[in-house]
Structure 1
Amino acid sequence: MKAPRIPIAQEGYPFILFAGFSTLILAILEFAYAALPALAVTGFVLWFFRDPERVAPPHADAFVSPADGKVIVAEKITDDRFMQGEVMKISIFMNVFNVHVNRFPFGGEVKEITLRPGKFYSADTNKGALHNEYCAITVTSKNNIKYCVVQVAGLIARRIVCWAEKGDSLATGQRYGLIRFGSRVDLYLPAHFSTSVKKGDKVRAGETVLGYLGAA
């Protein structure tokens, strides 16, 4: 029998414990004017680090969203930092109210992980996309297609967490990391990839289908 999983990301435990302990101390000292706001902060931190279960779509070629949030880019571009030539780029912006656990968009093997220090501009801008700190994972899919998924830090989000390691084989929808307190995830796909989402659409990590990735 599988033990029940606590639906909170482990990276949130220190923040939750600190906020909860501070609230308890303020309550014991009967500083109600401070304890009530501290309790609200504790509740927000708990809610922010929530990690609900998600069910990946049954279609073997379904390419799912790696993040909760809003699509801010869905177009063909050229960006040789991650893939050569023209690619389809899909960017998803996560605000502080979204679930921040990231999920693998399509099953495959991690070929390369690149963490590049950078700035911390607002993540929903082109300036942020070009200059902010990022963690890029290059993947060769189970049907031999190369793609790249990039966690990008933001103005508030200054801590990228990536649990994946080079050589790992991950399944579609599997958890692989998170970004603390809002940011974005960029996808770089083959130019022929036909996406079913557009700018402004709301998506859910591990569940919303962005398109279908057939054989190379």
Structure 2
Amino acid sequence: MIRFHKEGYKIIAITFIIVIAIILSVERFIDIIWITKSIQVFAIVFLIIVLQFFRNPKRVAVLDENTIIAPVDGKVVVIEEVEEPEYFKDKRLQISIFMSPINVHVTRYAMSGVIKYSKYHPGKYLVAWHPKASTENERTTVVIDNNSMGEILYRQIAGALAKRIVNYAKVGDTVVQGTDAGFIKFGSRVDVYLPLGTKVNVKLGDKVKGGVQIIAGK
């Protein structure tokens, strides 16, 4: 059975009502059969797109404090050492995962631990792969600390289509690896910042599965 994320319930309900209204009423206003059928088909396809975007497949992580799992589904587009300017203010290993509109957009905690920092930043809506998206787009920054890996930072970044980021992390919360951390609506990217020397288990271009696949560790 397909599960949907709670952040999509309202949008799904509104879309469903609009689509049903279009299907039932379009023939009253347009007499040309091929046009009415085309509009009805388009409405159904649009509903399917909305449903697949908000799907929330069940994922069960194998808990391991020595590993970092993918926080989202998508494609690995960055693996490099960078300066992290907001929290660490020093060199970190960045792994970035880009989500296309067809990917699952649920964000999951990459490791278990205590939330040390959580902040929302309003901003622009540059395409998610733009070099300045990490510092100029709408985004949230969250830092998790555990006894084994130390502090890691992940950043939800809105893309050109995204207009709202949902972040459940609150400072002081104890979170469990693989559980629901939030949602990014309609296209986005997540950056993960790790201590230098962390072993990376993925390479550029890899497609990863959020909540279960190990991307790095000791």
Same fold per TM (> 0.5)?
Answer: yes
Quote the residue 1:154 is aligned against.
159
Matches within 5 A, 1:122-201: 122-143=127-148, 145-201=150-206
Which is further off, 13-22 or 142-151?
142-151
Which is further off, 137-146 or 101-110?
137-146
Amino acid across the alignment from 1:54: R
Distance 2:204 2:10 in 1: 35
Quote the residue 1:13 is aligned against.
9
Q: Which has the larger radius of gyration?
A: 2
Q: How many residues align?
A: 209
Answer whether contact 1:23 1:39 (CA < 8 A) is retained. Answer: yes
Quote the residue 1:54 is aligned against.
59
Report the alpha carbon displacement of residue 78 of structure 1 after superposing the two structures with TM.
1.3
Quote the residue 2:24 is aligned against.
28
Answer whether contact 2:165 2:184 (CA < 8 A) is retained. Answer: yes
The structure 1 residue matched to 2:42, chosen from 13, 37, 45, is 37
Alpha-carbon RMSD: 1.7
Distance 1:128 1:207 in 2: 26
Consecutive unaligned residues in structure 2, runs of 5 or more: 28-35
Listed one character per residue, the Cα deviations across residues 142-165 of structure 1 (whole Å, up to 9, x for unaligned) are 436011111011111121001222
Question: What percentage of residue pairs aligned between the two structures are identical?
Answer: 33
| Moved segments of 4+, more than 6 Å | none
Which is further off, 30-39 or 145-154?
30-39
Amino acid across the alignment from 2:25: L
Report the alpha carbon displacement of residue 200 of structure 1 after superposing the two structures with TM.
0.8
Report the alpha carbon displacement of residue 206 of structure 1 after superposing the two structures with TM.
0.8
TM-score, normalised via structure 2 length: 0.90
Which is further off, 136-145 or 201-210?
136-145
